[in-house]
Structure 1
Amino acid sequence: MRAILIGILGAMFFSVTFILNHAMSDDGGSWMFSSSLRFIFMFPFLFIFVWFQQRHHIILLHIRKHFMLWLLWSTLGFVCFYVPITFVSSFSPGWLIAATWQLTIICGLLLAPLFYEYVQYEQQTVKIRERISWRSVGTSTLMIIGVVLVQIPQISNIELHTFIISIVPLIIAAFCYPLGNRKMMVLVDNKLTTIERMYGMTLVTLPIWFIIFGVGVAKNGLPSSNQVLQTFSVAIFSGIIATALFFYATNLVKHNQGKLAAVEATQATEIIFTLIGEMIFLGLPLPDAVSLIGISLITLGIFIYCYLNSLIQENKAEL
């Protein structure tokens, strides 16, 4: 329960991403600046924290030892996750992106066979491949129906190719985020803290973010002062606070795929926070009835999902 509550708190801060990305897009700001500046602004804060903890050399040593894996999983977990989210902000409101983003719950469940569980058997440690929890997938179907309902009113209002380029990037991001995060947890194990892992992932992807920023400058000129300020806010509230909370919550249950999936599912509450935020700060009207039904199903699905997972874990503990 503690990890789930932390995950919900992280979702509240993460909703700032969807709200401000929408605001920047409405102001004509480039998605390249929205994505790259967030991580460029994050880096100094993470560096200062790590430096004061005198752990910088330990992180660098771990990165040098496993550089290609660091680069691969950090690119998937940060770049291939955040670039699509900022890109689609040019086509959809934040609450719609947040709702569609909940596909990451299903994607996270389908990634289970890519990971292993270590169990003791006859005084030996046995490596067993994780299995997909089809019961959880079935429960998550309710959330998928909700996502479909949320999208139905949008299909009638936009062209098909615009709808596709709004959805496909989010599906890619929905796979990359849990995959990169989980693989990094396995790679660092307990050798690095959550903040140290964030710092390392930001460090190795920093050249990519500078390249994206450079391309943005070449195409659009320098970002406006308003976009710089808004991206800085995203870096603090979403990049630092929300990511740290979410990574910490997943780290608490990293050895249990059922609980891990439940924590990842708490991100569904981003829809509610984003919807309220856009209505208050951006003056967006309340979504239509079909979309609201979809949002309600997604929210209901997350609570059912978390409840059933807790029952499953209790039964396992009794056995």
Structure 2
Amino acid sequence: MTRLILLGTCSALFFSSTFVLNRAMSLQGGHWIWTASLRYFYMFFMLGLWLALTGKSRLLKDVFTAFRSNWCFWTVAGSTGFGVFYALLTFSASFAPGWVVATTWQSTILATPLVLLLFGKRVPMRGVFYTVLIFIGIVLVTLEQAAAASLRETVLGILPVLVAAFAYPLGNQLIWEARHGKIVRIPEASTAVLDDSAARVLIMVLGSLPLWAVLILFVHPPPPSAGQLVNTAMVAVFSGVLATTLFYKARHLAKTPFELSAVDATQSMEVVFSLLGEIAFLGGAWPGAAGGVGIVLSLLGLVLYVRSQTLAE
């Protein structure tokens, strides 16, 4: 369990770059479509190149073979877990500070048990009280944001994140079920592909590409700036490759619903990392009393939640 928590926390550190850099690109006028889609285009080439250069060309071929065999499933999984999730996060960055988006994002901890129930998993009730603490923290942060912004900015900065919080664990659970092959409606995928962290991420990236193409054609955003090209490349490396690979590795090592929930819970550390990053690099202000209490409650809920799961093992 300790190893899983450490891997999850390290992934949260790299994931936090997403909120800081997305906010930076929004403040610079970059369109959210490019902020979202370029990350995955970069990841596609980076991961493919990584597999080729590390002597895993056969595995790279297996990824495309597995995708072609069940392209419908992987398009749904990738578009949900990577596409819908990240499109909504980048959209929200245009209306709310990064630390607000990061705190609201912790609602994924509340969403994960519901997703597990959807897949017929037994979800422990002993962590409910601690997830309620996290939820109260999110509410306090939301109230502070509402006081400092218009109703439109508050809704568009927070509501899409709540939807994204369900899309991400849903996509992750689909790939977990494909690996273990216990649900008849979900096709069992190649063990070789899903046993490799980079290959697991790559096949989900492949599944998300059709959604990005549709969004670009539908929205017709203006061309990305040079700064946006650089920043999205940084997000692709830190968050898309390093963070996602670490997070998927932790989830892959998880054997029970308890461990899966604990890994997902470590992502609350993104709040602290995002807040510090925004203050250090974007000149962001420290949160007020309500926001500060909200962050503390969210982190306290995380610590107690993980502790309860560890003691139960």
TM-score normalised according to structure 1 size = 0.89
* TM superposition shift of 1:56: 2.2
- Over the aligned positions, Cα root-mean-square deviation in angstroms equals 1.5
Does the alignment pair 1:87 with 2:91?
A: yes
Structure 2 distance, partners of 1:225, 1:65, is: 38
Note the 1:44-59 alignment, pairs <5 A: 44-51=45-52, 52-53=55-56, 54-59=58-63
For residues 27 and 89 of structure 1, what CA distance do their matches in structure 2 show?
Answer: 12
CA contact 1:94–1:274 (8 Å) conserved in 2: yes
Alignment deviations for residues 163-213 of structure 1 (CA, whole Å, 9 cap, x no partner) = 222222111110110110111122134442221111111123223223434
Bigger mean CA deviation after superposition, 292-301 or 55-64? 55-64
In 1, are the aligned partners of 2:76 and 2:207 still within 8 Å (CA)? Answer: no
Matched letter for residue 105 of structure 2 = W
Q: Answer yes or no: is the 8 Å Cα contact 1:37–1:213 preserved in 2.
A: no
Distance 1:219 1:60 in 2: 29
Gaps of 5+ in 2: 181-190
Q: In the aligned structure 2, how far is the partner of 1:75 from the partner of 1:196?
A: 17
The aligned counterpart of 2:312 is 312
Instruction: Specify every segment of 5 or more residues in structure 1 that has no aligned partner in the other structure, as ranges.
Output: 116-128, 314-319
Which stretch of structure 1 is more off in the superposition, 281-290 or 93-102?
281-290
Deviation by residue 1:255-281 (Cα, 9 ceiling, x = unmatched): 311111111010000000011011111
Tell me which residue corresponds to 1:72. Answer: 76
Letter in 1 for 2:167: C
Partner-residue secondary structure (3-state), 1:285: coil
What displacement does 1:215 show? 5.0
Cα distance between partner residues in 2 of 1:55 and 1:173? 30
- Cα distance in 2, alignment partners of residues 208 and 144 from structure 1: 31
Task: Give % identity.
Answer: 38
Query: Secondary structure of the residue that 1:134 maps to in structure 2?
Result: coil
User: Could you tell me which of 178, 183, 201 is aligned with 2:174?
Assistant: 183
Matched, 1:293 2:284: no
Q: Which residue of 1 aligns with 2:186?
A: none
Q: 1:110-121, aligned counterparts within 5 Å?
A: 110-115=114-119
* Mapping for residues 208-227 of structure 1, pairs under 5 Å: 208-215=211-218, 218-220=220-222, 222-227=223-228
Q: What's the offset of the Cα at 1:69?
A: 1.3
Contact 1:40/1:209, CA 8 A, preserved across alignment: no
Measured in 2, the distance between the counterparts of 1:264 and 1:296 equals: 18
The number of equivalent residue pairs is 297
Q: Which has the larger radius of gyration?
A: 1
Amino acid aligned to 1:172: V
With structure 2 as the length reference, what TM-score do the two structures score?
Answer: 0.91
| Residue identity matched to 2:304 | I
1:142 to 127, 133, 137: 133
One-letter amino acid of the structure 1 residue matched with residue 12 of structure 2: A
Contact 1:16 1:234 in 2 (8 A): yes
> Is 1:262 paired with 2:265?
no
Q: CA separation in 2, counterparts of 1:56 and 1:155?
A: 47
